Each structure stands twice: as structure tokens, then as C-alpha cells.
């Protein structure tokens, strides 16, 4: 009998080890393989091919009936089996100590079975779609996709689930700083915790504010400036610019939903045998001059193919040539930045300087759609990204902010997301 039990557990352990990716997992929005492109994670939409589905951030109430949906393409053009795993994280996105069974309803290893081949495209690919299973707890999660054969991760995407345990009141306004009043935006907010028991309200809650749903510009470490214990309200109205964000500028964009003619921002189309190359109109710096109002997606982008309306499998991949007319910036590196590269600054979107043209260039392979982007400068010494050097900062820039409130109950082993609120500034659409 003991030998049978031992054999049973050895089989279980072997199955679990086979289900784990062998490479180290990055707990962030990350692409591990250059053949994996256009990885979206969003709340499920009523119409599966509605391009606007890509504009919703990856956050839902815990009790929501609709799931998250993951979509991505594999440009190897050969079918490969993929599986997905959910990782629970703390408020700071470090891996929590919870076991899988404490936050999942099923065995935490899900096959991705929905896939389609691209149709009528010069660049062939397989398109994969996966509905993320429900979980038990609110908080931060990372969805990791890995190949069945190599057992290596190919992509990671963050998502969050919240419970409305506290009420957040917030407003966006001009910055109170004298020097920042024309370039920065300020978020004042308060938290009402009447319906949620807190032992030490001043320190129990961890608050995070993001601009345009980006984690690379998130701020945290906020402490209440005023506590009203009888009203059970925490006020966060700062005077040292802790809650102030650079206004930035409206994002540049181009429209490649059709390749039959030049869309907005496209200067030339080169139709080659193996692909269609798009050359964008040269860009100029916008940091010196007046603010110009224009509609954008706040750095996001949509995939679409105008002729068919089925961008998932009929939108083609095109090399896109970006040109920024600017003198060379000494001791710095420039990047074309945006959600199309998950806001990461790496070799895929790094620019090179052409001394003959007196301009920076980059060629990036992108799927057809409407793509938002801007130019980011990284000084080699500080390694601090700076979007204002080329784009400028304007207080009138339309931006979205969201506030996330985390709480770890006494004796609990993980952080819960107990409050969520979005704040719009100068919204015109």
C-alpha cells in the first residue's frame, strides 16, 4: 500500500514539474520571444471583433461575470501548443506566498485551444485567443503563457480584480505648484471606509495612482494628510506635489487600417513581395510651442482591418519607419514609446541617429490598426526616461488617471484590492 501511495505522489509531482515554465518569469507586462507579437489582455467585449475592446484596462470587479480575454500572435507561422498559468502577486507586484489552490478554482495549468491562421496576409501568423478563468481573491495577478514543447514562457500580462470595500472620491485639477501650474496635473482624493473595518486607518491602506493605466509612471507611498475618525474618512490633499503628474502631450498616431491607400500620418507605402512597408511623415519636436488639441487613445492602440473588419486574422504586419527630425542628443538614447511595445524601452523600439539626415530613425514591425506613440529620451548616465524633452508638458493635455487601494487584513497572507476609481482630466470624447 505504501508503495502505491508513493507512486501516486511521484506521478503528481512529475505532472506539476512538467507544467511549470523552466525559465524565470517576469512579473510584468513582458514578451520573451521576438516571434510573439500584439499581446492584448482586456475585459471581454460584447462584440469579439470590436476594435474598441483594446482600449479597456485589464481590471474588473471580482464579482464580474465577464472574463478577461488574452489575444496574441505567433509569427513562426507554425502551430505551437501554448498553456497558461496564473500567478498571484502582492501590492508591489512581488510574488505572494499563496498556493495555487488558495486563489484558483481549477488546476492552475490551462491549455490554449482557440487559434486561427492568418488569412490573405503577406506576413503569415497564428492568432491565439484565451479566456482567463475566474479566481477567488481580489488583488494583482500575472498571466503567464508558455510553450508546451520547450516549457519556456513566451509572454506575461498583468491584470487586477477589485472588491468595492471602500469608497473613493477624487478630482483632477491644475497643479498647486507655482512653477508647475501650466505643465502638471494634480489628483486630490479621499477614502471613505465606513463599510470596511480598519484597525489603523493611517497606515493600513496602500494607495497607487497611475496615469493612463501605465505602471511605468505609477506613484505610491501616499499617507493621508487628514484623518476624520468620526466620519471614517481619510483625506489626501498634498502640498508638496506628491500627487502631481506631468501633463505630457497628446500622443502622435498613424492609421494603417487599410493598405489600399495612405492613412493619416503615412507618407509613403512600399509594396514589396514579402511585406508592405510604411514610411511615416517625419516628426518634429513639440516641447517648444503652444499646446495643440487632438484626439488620441492616451498611448494605446487598436488592431483593425478596414476592408474585412476582422483584424484578428486579416490585419497584416508591416514594418513601420519612424523619423524624428531633431539634432543628436548627446549621451542619450531615444525610443519610440507606446503600448504597442508594452511601454518597454528595448532594442525593438530603439532609434538610431542618421547624421546625414540630421534625424533619428527606427523600423518597427506592427500589426495594422491605429497606433499611438511618442518619443522618449533616456540619458545614459541616469537611465531615467524623459518624454517631455521632445513632446513637452501641457496642463490641458487629456489624460486618464486611476486610483487603486490595497489592504492586507490582520493575519492575512496577501494584499487585497479593496477600492478602485478612475478620474478623467479634460476628456473630450
Q: Is 425 exposed, middle or buried (0-12, 13-18, 19+ CB in 10 A)?
A: buried
For domain 22-162, the CATH architecture is Sandwich (2.60)
pLDDT tens for 41-92 read 999 999 989 999 999 999 999 999 999 999 999 999 889 999 999 999 999 9
Q: What confidence score (pLDDT) does residue 326 get?
A: 96
pTM comes to 0.92
Which phi and psi (to 5°) does residue 23 adopt?
A: -85, 160
> In what helix (H) or strand (E) does residue 18 lie, and over which residues does it extend?
helix 2-19
Beta strands 153-162; 139-147: pairing state: antiparallel
230 or 9: which carries more pLDDT confidence? 230
**CA dist 44 → 65, 91, 215, 304 (Å):** 10, 24, 22, 17
Q: What confidence score (pLDDT) does residue 85 get?
A: 97
Q: What confidence score (pLDDT) does residue 10 get?
A: 40
pLDDT tens for 310-358 read 999 999 999 999 999 999 999 999 999 999 999 999 999 999 999 999 9
22-162 and 167-247+397-425 have identical folds: yes
What region does 63 belong to: left with phi over 0, alpha with psi -120 to 50, or beta? Answer: alpha
> In what helix (H) or strand (E) does residue 322 lie, and over which residues does it extend?
strand 317-325
Round the average pLDDT of the chain to a whole number and report it: 92
Q: What confidence score (pLDDT) does residue 381 get?
A: 82
With bands split at pLDDT 50, 70 and 90, how would you rate the model's confidence at 7?
A: very low
Q: What confidence score (pLDDT) does residue 195 get?
A: 84
With bands split at pLDDT 50, 70 and 90, how would you rate the model's confidence at 21?
A: low
Q: What confidence score (pLDDT) does residue 343 get?
A: 97
The one-character DSSP state at 66 is S
Q: What confidence score (pLDDT) does residue 70 get?
A: 98
Q: What confidence score (pLDDT) does residue 5 get?
A: 40
With bands split at pLDDT 50, 70 and 90, how would you rate the model's confidence at 34?
A: very high
Q: How many helices (H) and strands (E) does the chain have?
A: 5, 29
pLDDT of 20 > 90? The answer is no
Domain range annotation of the chain: 22-162, 167-247+397-425, 252-391
2.60.220, 2.60.40, 1.20.1740, 3.30.160: which CATH number matches 167-247+397-425? 2.60.40
Q: Is 7 exposed, middle or buried (0-12, 13-18, 19+ CB in 10 A)?
A: exposed
Which phi and psi (to 5°) does residue 341 adopt?
A: -115, 25
Considering the chain, what percentage of its residues have pLDDT values greater than 90? 84
**For residue 403, how many C-alpha atoms fall within 13 Å in the half-sphere facing its CB?**
27
The answer to whether residues 161 and 404 touch, using CB atoms and an 8 Å cutoff, is no
Considering the chain, what percentage of its residues have pLDDT values greater than 70? 94
pLDDT tens for 368-409 read 999 999 999 999 888 899 999 999 999 999 999 999 999 999
How many residues are listed for the chain in this entry? 429
- Neighbour count for residue 147 (Cβ, 10 Å): 18
Amino acid at each position: 500500500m505504501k508503495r502505491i501511495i508513493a507512486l501516486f505522489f511521484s506521478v503528481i509531482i512529475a505532472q506539476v514539474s512538467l507544467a511549470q515554465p523552466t525559465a524565470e518569469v517576469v512579473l510584468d507586462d513582458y514578451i520573451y520571444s521576438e516571434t510573439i507579437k500584439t499581446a492584448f489582455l482586456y475585459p471581454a467585449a460584447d462584440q469579439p471583433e470590436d476594435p474598441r475592446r483594446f482600449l479597456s484596462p485589464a481590471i474588473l470587479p471580482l464579482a464580474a461575470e465577464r472574463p478577461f480575454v488574452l489575444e496574441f500572435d505567433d509569427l513562426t507561422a507554425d502551430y505551437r501548443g501554448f498553456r497558461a498559468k496564473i500567478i498571484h502577486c502582492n501590492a508591489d507586484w512581488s510574488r505572494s506566498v499563496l498556493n495555487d489552490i488558495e486563489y484558483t478554482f481549477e488546476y492552475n495549468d490551462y491549455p490554449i485551444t482557440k487559434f486561427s491562421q492568418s488569412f490573405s496576409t503577406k506576413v503569415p501568423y497564428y492568432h491565439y485567443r484565451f479566456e482567463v478563468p475566474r479566481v477567488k481573491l481580489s488583488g494583482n495577478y500575472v498571466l503567464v503563457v508558455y510553450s508546451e514543447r520547450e516549457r519556456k514562457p513566451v509572454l506575461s500580462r498583468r491584470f487586477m480584480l477589485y472588491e468595492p470595500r471602500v469608497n473613493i472620491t477624487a478630482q483632477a485639477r491644475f497643479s498647486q505648484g507655482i512653477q508647475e501650474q501650466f505643465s502638471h496635473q494634480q489628483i486630490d482624493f479621499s477614502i471613505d471606509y465606513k463599510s470596511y473595518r480598519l484597525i489603523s486607518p493611517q497606515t493600513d491602506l496602500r494607495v497607487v495612482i497611475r496615469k493612463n493605466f501605465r505602471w511605468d509612471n505609477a506613484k505610491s507611498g501616499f499617507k493621508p494628510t487628514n484623518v476624520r475618525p468620526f466620519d471614517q474618512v481619510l483625506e489626501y490633499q498634498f502640498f508638496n506635489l506628491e500627487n502631481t503628474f506631468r501633463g505630457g502631450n497628446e500622443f502622435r498616431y498613424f492609421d494603417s487600417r487599410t493598405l489600399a491607400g495612405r492613412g493619416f500620418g503615412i507618407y509613403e507605402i512600399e509594396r514589396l513581395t514579402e511585406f508592405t512597408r510604411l514610411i511615416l511623415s517625419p516628426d518634429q519636436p513639440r516641447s517648444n510651442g503652444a499646446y495643440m488639441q487632438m484626439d488620441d487613445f492616451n498611448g494605446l492602440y487598436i488592431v483593425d482591418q478596414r476592408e474585412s473588419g476582422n483584424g484578428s486574422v486579416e490585419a497584416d504586419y508591416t514594418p513601420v519607419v519612424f523619423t524624428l527630425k531633431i539634432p543628436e542628443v548627446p549621451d542619450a538614447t531615444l525610443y519610440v514609446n507606446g503600448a504597442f511595445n508594452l511601454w518597454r524601452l528595448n532594442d525593438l523600439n530603439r532609434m538610431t541617429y542618421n547624421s546625414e539626415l540630421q534625424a533619428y530613425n527606427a523600423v518597427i514591425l506592427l500589426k495594422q490598426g491605429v497606433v499611438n506613440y511618442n518619443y522618449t529620451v533616456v540619458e545614459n548616465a541616469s537611465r531615467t526616461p524623459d518624454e517631455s524633452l521632445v513632446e513637452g508638458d501641457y496642463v490641458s493635455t487629456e489624460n486618464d488617471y486611476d486610483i487603486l487601494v490595497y489592504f492586507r487584513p490582520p493575519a492575512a497572507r496577501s494584499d487585497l484590492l479593496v477600492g478602485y476609481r478612475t478620474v478623467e482630466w479634460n476628456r473630450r470624447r
